[in-house]
Amino acid sequence: MPTLNRKIDAPVLDADPFDETHLADPYPLHELLREAGPVVFLERYQVWAMARHDEVHASLTDHGTFCSSRGAGLSDFHKEKPWRPPSLLLEADPPDHTVVRTAMGKVISPRTVRGFRDTFRAVAEDLADELVARGGFDAVTDLAERYPLKVFPDAVGLPSEGRENLLPYGALAFNAFGPRNTLLEDALAKAAPVQEWIWASCQRDALAPDGLGARIWEAADNGEITHEQAPMLVRSLLSAGVDTTVYGIANTVQALAANPDQWARLREKPSLARFAFDEALRYESPVQTFFRTTTRDVEVSGVRIPEGEKVLLFLGAANRDPRKWGPDADRMDITRRAAGHVAFGMGIHQCVGQPIARLEAELVLTALAERAGHLEPTADPVPKLNNTLKGWSSAPVSVRAT
């Protein structure tokens, strides 16, 4: 429906959050969106948007009104065919969602994740030894891409052949939440062999008997989920579990290198690693946005949104809202109480893999902080463009042993 024929009692903006300028540096747009009002209307995509913490948080936790089963991207699954069969987790509502989410929560239990710690730590320490000895490295390609790409696929029990498909698949999945711009078209053009490898790797015979993938298939044997659902849930691990952690770790190391006072704090007290990661997720959120769709007419902070409308939630902007975080919301401060950020989402869809992500980040940051004296950027980081993810394709740093 053209804007002309609708009644919109919110500021109407013509900015494109998915253009290259805003994807590379979204923060000026975030401020504009937050200051424009609690709810705005984005003319170009005919969608509503929220960028303040209160409204983003409230929408994420009201899954009855802001549903996920019509897609967590711009595309409305009631109107367009999804690019792949919808995720049983991300793109589902209760009661369907509840069943699979419960099963996944058991697979990624605290006990299971504790069981990963020793192996994950050994890999982190070997990598940190190597990188510190080198005197310099790229925080993205030498650290953030190597670490999760070793420990996570091993934990899932994936075949070692073909793992180079994991990053392109994640990039595709996260680009697919946005509009059909060149980022998405380019990713889709190369997608067929990537998708084939992913789907083959979700099948029982491809998965090691002791990994998370096999545990999902056992949940089907136990009747918690069906055998048809099992490969789809393995697919969720492969969609959401790799790029997210790569961006999260890269953004954290880059932000620490760029903020020497914060790196000094972590180096003095490596046990702050978990807090540094949370603050980095708030400060530079890997997942910047998700959409929801309204299930009814709803009023949000005085603005009426009709039923069946797409709503773009700016997680990354909520995480820098001065109304929530104070006047220095744009500053990285690892001693800040970053709890309450929405980088993992909030409510029933909040990241089910987050204990694994947190473990990876804690161990790799601790290993680095225990070994590296100084850590400094040696060149500007290079933005990596994605319709949903914010991060870098390269972030060179120099490092000296303690």
First to last CA, the chain: 62
Q: Give the integer Cα–Cα distance in Å for 295 and 298.
A: 9
Report if residue 389 touches ligand OVV, rule: CB under 6 A: no
Q: For the beta carbon of residue 312, count every other beta carbon within 10 angstroms.
A: 23
> For residue 392, what are the β-bridge partners?
383
Q: Give the integer Cα–Cα distance in Å for 120 and 142.
A: 17
One of 42, 89, 249, 369 touching ligand OVV (CB under 6 A): 89
Compute the least distance from the CB of residue 270 to ligand OVV, in Å: 30
**Which one, 117 or 190, has the nearer CB to ligand OVV?**
190
Q: Which two tokens stand for residue 70?
A: 């019509």
Which DSSP string corresponds to 352-395?
Answer: TTHHHHHHHHHHHHHHHHHHEEEEEESSPPEEE--SSB-EEEE-
- Tell me how far the alpha carbon of residue 321 is from its chain's centroid: 19
Compute the least distance from the CB of residue 207 to ligand OVV, in Å: 17
**Which one, 90 or 363, has the nearer CB to ligand OVV?**
90
Q: Which two tokens stand for residue 340?
A: 């309450």
One of 13, 15, 74, 90 touching ligand OVV (CB under 6 A): 90
Q: Which two tokens stand for residue 280?
A: 């980095």
Compute the least distance from the CB of residue 148 to ligand OVV, in Å: 15
Tally of helices (H runs) and strands (E runs) in the chain: 17, 13
**Which one, 240 or 367, has the nearer CB to ligand OVV?**
240
One of 173, 198, 272, 311 touching ligand OVV (CB under 6 A): 173
Residues 6 or more apart whose Cβ sits within 8 Å of residue 205: none
Report if residue 239 touches ligand OVV, rule: CB under 6 A: yes
Compute the least distance from the CB of residue 320 to ligand OVV, in Å: 22
Q: Give the integer Cα–Cα distance in Å for 308 and 293.
A: 6
- CA torsion angle for 364, 370, 376, 381 (degrees, to 10)? 0
Compute the least distance from the CB of residue 290 to ligand OVV, in Å: 9
Report if residue 291 touches ligand OVV, rule: CB under 6 A: no
**Which one, 108 or 266, has the nearer CB to ligand OVV?**
108
One of 120, 174, 247, 344 touching ligand OVV (CB under 6 A): 174
**Which one, 89 or 395, has the nearer CB to ligand OVV?**
89
**Which one, 251 or 366, has the nearer CB to ligand OVV?**
251
Q: Which two tokens stand for residue 258?
A: 């760029």
One of 240, 256, 317, 369 touching ligand OVV (CB under 6 A): 240
List residues binding ligand OVV (CB under 6 A). Answer: 87, 89-90, 173-174, 235-236, 239-240
